[in-house]
Amino acid sequence: MPPTAQQRILQVTAMIPRGTVTTYGRVAELAGYFGAARQVGWVLRRQDPADTTIPWHRVVNATGAISMSTGRNGSDWIQRELLLEEGVPVDRSGRLPLRAYLWMPDPLQVLQDLAGD
């Protein structure tokens, strides 16, 4: 069975280094699903906020902010705390200096890692 989109999205997310962040759109792109940013949000939404096995908190939107929403039942604020713990400065509205903390992986390396499993 070929890996599902969800699996690849989680695999890419798992590669994000501590103390750095990336965007939904970028994760989709690296996973091989350019344009499917919303799907990334959908996948991360069903992760257990308490489970840090996969660093879901290192994914933010393209404006450089945590996507705050009442539907998240507070996981958005948990995300802020987790990022602060890693040294990523997030202000009270959830904004952060994206360009300074953005994960810049070598695309080829990412493909290698995805293939290797």
**Cα 110 from Cα 27, distance rounded (Å):** 11
Nearer to DNA, 34 or 112 (CB): 34
- For residue 34, the SS3 value is coil
- Three-class DSSP category at 23: strand
Q: What is the pattern of x (binds DNA, CB under 7 A) and - over residues 33-62?
A: x-xxxxxxxx-xx-x-x------xx-x-xx
What span, in angstroms and rounded, lies between the C-alpha atoms of 86 and 53? 15
- Residue 74 vs 116, nearer CB to DNA: 74
- Give contact residues for DNA (rule: CB under 7 A): 5-6, 23-26, 33, 35-42, 44-45, 47, 49, 56-57, 59, 61-63, 67, 69, 71-72, 75-76, 79
